[in-house]
Structure 1
Amino acid sequence: MDPMLRRTVILPLLLAAAAHFGCSTPPPPRTSYQDPITAIRLYVDDHAQSSHQHPADISPEQMAKVLGGLRVFPRSGFIGSLISGQASPKPAFASTEIQALAPRLSRALTEAKPDELVTFYRRFSDNNTGLAVTSGGMFVQDGYLTVILANDRTLPTDGMNQNMVTDFDPIDSPLVPIARTSFRLEFAQPSALAAPDKRPAWPYIDEGRILAIDLRRLSAEPRSSAVHPAP
């Protein structure tokens, strides 16, 4: 994929990436799927501890329910909430994105090794937002699907006042957040979330962007549209 965004970052962001993937040089990721706007890759996870439960069998329908239940809440801060009122959640993924990602993420988990996690990256563009990025990762551990949403339609310039000297495309670092304080992640079905003492221990730079979901507790209600396997 030809880069569309510049990727120059200064030391703090590089240190954040190194802290997640380990100080030693990891092997290159394995690509499960890639097109001009989407990349799904398998990265070696130094925090896999006793190893993840991979390969994992999560159907495209289950994955669609997971992606469809992810909700993003803006972090406007105290002053911002006084001005604009209580922040409203929004879906992390549109229906077209779920259709594209669910079968491919499902397949990637069947390809993952016990010491790997699955990452996703997707570019988004419209006349109002311009070019933005959604990225993150997931793994199965202790019976839970842990989901990390590092970026949610985040503009590459959003972090320039924090860590970067220019805009940043996280295609090669999908778990690195561009902007550190822009949102938190929740789930539309809270009863399906792991209790705090049950959630797999996995360090991340922002605990507000990581969830552990019990797939057995997901609602059995059928989705209005089917998710077909990706070619």
Structure 2
Amino acid sequence: MPLPTALPALADNYIWALAGTNGRAVIVDPGEAAPVLEAMEQGLRPCTILVTHHHRDHTGAVDALAERCGAIVYAPDDPRIVGDCVRVGEGDVVNVAQADLSFSVMAVPGHTRSHIAFAGEGLVFTGDTLFSLGCGRLFEGTPAQMFDSLERIAALPPETRVCCGHEYTLGNAAFALTVDPGNLALVRRAAQAREARALGNPTVPISIGSEQGTNPFLRCREPRLAARVAEHGGCDAADPVAVFAALRRWKDGFAA
């Protein structure tokens, strides 16, 4: 199974690169060109660009890289993403024949209304929907939409590796530990993330299975966590969408 490479970009973004068996590669959410161009100098050969959503820190270098590499671009059907690209949505399949890679498209609205994820090759590129130990802010979607999107991602096989768009794990861990301090798996994950960052390494990809046990946004149906959120946010602990909405509001106002 091919292994993805996280290319640091901008302040805290990751551009993902995944090379197939023949060396041709897929690039995901290139917010700037320099990290990709540097990787190309080391032998990376992009042939396809995947875009999860329209925000500039995920699309800023798409056109320049597509022109330079002759890459085909796959993006959500959103007029805010301009340029020559193939528009894809829920249920579509992106077959990258040049790299012998294939991905299913998932509609995952919430962070933005047209956000998509790409799942395949044992990976899921989640953009700003699911982060390690967290999730994206609700800029355009509703809590119900984001909750459903996260549940669908969480239903992928537990060994699936989450490739998200930002290095947010340490900040997310601080919040998650505030919400769920007795979670020993979370305590271990936070320590693992601190060690990785101290060495200058990414904290992702991380497995869906790990996230299911540690990410509070994927555990809104768990009675103990729901009760904790309800106590803080005054929501109905029996309503997982209400719990998610209260949890997201709590995170929005949280300062580590």
Q: TM-score, with normalisation over the residues of structure 2?
A: 0.23
Q: TM-score, with normalisation over the residues of structure 1?
A: 0.25
As a proportion of its length, which structure holds more helix?
2
CA radius of gyration, larger in: 2
Q: Which has the higher contact order (CA 8 A, sep 6+)?
A: 1
